[in-house]
Each structure stands twice: as C-alpha cells, then as structure tokens.
A and B are shown apart, each in its own frame.
Chain A
Amino acid sequence: DAKTTQPPSMDCAEGRAANLPCNHSTISGNEYVYWYRQIHSQGPQYIIHGLKNNETNEMASLIITEDRKSSTLILPHATLRDTAVYYCIVRVIEGRRALTFGSGTRLQVQP
C-alpha cells in the first residue's frame, strides 16, 4: 500500500472548519483513500473513504486532487469532541488487505 504523509499536529477553533491534509504521491490507480480517527482511549473510528471523486457524509467531506496525489479531510464545524488523532490511509481493495496506520495528525480543537 502507498505511504502517506500527514502533519503531526494541528489546531482549530471550535465552530470553524478543520482541514486536514494528506499527501499520498505514490498512490496507485486501485488504491482508495481512507480516513479514520482515534479519540483518546478509544479504538479508531471510520470517517470516510474515496477513490477519485469527492465524498461527503454526515461526519466529513473528503476532497481528492485530480492527480490523486493528495487529499483533504474537512470537518465543516469542528467541536471539542472532534479532538483526536486523524489517520489518512491508502488501501488496495483487491485482496482484502488490512489497514496500515501511520502516525496521523493530532487535531486539537480549541474553545
């Protein structure tokens, strides 16, 4: 699976949009971009995934660049409960492989 690069930490003001970047310049055509988050002392939680089109669900939006070498997870109105480590993961669907986590971005939402 392709390697991802994320900033180690970010701050965001409560109520503002949080934009979390991820670089995956070696991504292959059959690899999806997944985002998970891990709130302190809990297991990781699925947020969203996509292949090449932008995706939106009740939690977040995922914007993937046209060349698919980077993506941005957007939390439109961050709350204190969104404070967590966010993991960007690139994963091949075929072969049903497990997720490979990196170090993620620690997002701190400030009141």
Chain B
Amino acid sequence: GAGVSQTPSNKVTEKGKYVELRCDPISGHTALYWYRQSLGQGPEFLIYFQGTGAADDSGLPNDRFFAVRPEGSVSTLKIQRTERGDSAVYLCASSFTGLTEAFFGQGTRLTVV
C-alpha cells in the first residue's frame, strides 16, 4: 500500500487480557515509531526502531509493553495484562531513514473494559 497501515483499527479487550497491535510501514522505510495518544493530548512517544533493533525504547511505560520488528518491516506492539488506563489510540509512523519526515498511520483505538 501507499501509506502506513495499522490493524486492527479498533480493538476492545477485557482488563487483564493480552493484545497485539500491528503496523505495516511504507515499503523501504527503515525507521519505525510507536506512539500512543489519549483524548485531548498530543501523541506520546513509546519506542523507535531503526531496522530490526529498538534504537530507543525509553517511552515504554512499563514492562507490560513490548514491541518487535523481526525482519525490519512489520512491527507488533504487544501489551500484557491490559489495564483500563491503557485505553488510547496507538499510532505507528515510519520514515525513510529516521532523518526524514515521518508518515503516520490512522492508528488503532484500544479500549480496555
């Protein structure tokens, strides 16, 4: 596809469950970013990949959050033992090198009930 694709677009899960959110970046983009956005706030940085490795994971709030990018393309954000406070829109972005502009997906709206 032409843009960053995130699936699912909406996810409702029960408190305590495990969820996976997927991001398909623009083909050829080496840099990939995950953000989360709560209502009325700007996006909050979670983790940044350069290729397959996490170059900066300082934004992950705790050890329930983990992300992988095993082949340097698709990335999965994994949240264990979800809590109601994890409810937010999770945004993924990619850029060609990490030095150029970032393109964002439409986000996954996660609701923990």
Q: Is B50 part of the binding interface, using a Cβ–Cβ cutoff of 8 Å?
A: yes
Contact between B44 and A101, CB atoms less than 8 A apart: yes
Q: Is B2 part of the binding interface, using a Cβ–Cβ cutoff of 8 Å?
A: no
For the complex, what is the distance from the CA of A48 to the CA of B42, rounded to whole Å?
18
What is the interface size of chain A, counting residues whose CB is below 8 A from a CB of the partner?
Answer: 19
For A44, give the chain B residue with the smallest CB separation: B104
- Distance in Å from the Cβ of B84 to the closest Cβ of chain A? 22
Chain B residues closer than 8 Å to A43, beta-carbon distance: 4, 91, 93, 104-107
For the complex, what is the distance from the CA of A21 to the CA of B95, rounded to whole Å?
26
Most buried by A among B42, B50, B107: B42
Chain A residues closer than 8 Å to B107, beta-carbon distance: 43
Interface residues on B, range: 20 to 34
For B101, give the chain A residue with the smallest CB separation: A46
Q: Is A97 part of the binding interface, using a Cβ–Cβ cutoff of 8 Å?
A: yes
For the complex, what is the distance from the CA of A103 to the CA of B98, rounded to whole Å?
23
For the complex, what is the distance from the CA of A97 to the CA of B59, rounded to whole Å?
12
Q: Is B56 part of the binding interface, using a Cβ–Cβ cutoff of 8 Å?
A: yes
Q: Is A45 part of the binding interface, using a Cβ–Cβ cutoff of 8 Å?
A: yes
Chain B residues closer than 8 Å to A53, beta-carbon distance: none
- Distance in Å from the Cβ of B100 to the closest Cβ of chain A? 9
For A94, give the chain B residue with the smallest CB separation: B99
Q: Which residues of B line the A interface, CB within 8 A?
A: 4, 31, 33, 35, 41-45, 48, 50, 55-56, 59, 91, 93, 97-99, 101-107
A-B contacts, 30 of them at CB < 8 A, read A41-B106, A42-B106, A43-B4, A43-B91, A43-B93, A43-B104, A43-B106, A44-B91, A44-B93, A45-B104, A46-B101, A46-B102, A49-B101, A85-B42, A87-B42, A96-B50, A96-B97, A96-B98, A96-B99, A97-B48, A97-B56, A98-B56, A99-B33, A99-B43, A99-B45, A99-B102, A101-B43, A103-B41, A103-B42, A104-B42
Shortest beta-carbon contacts, A-B, top 5: A43-B104, A101-B42, A96-B98, A46-B101, A98-B48
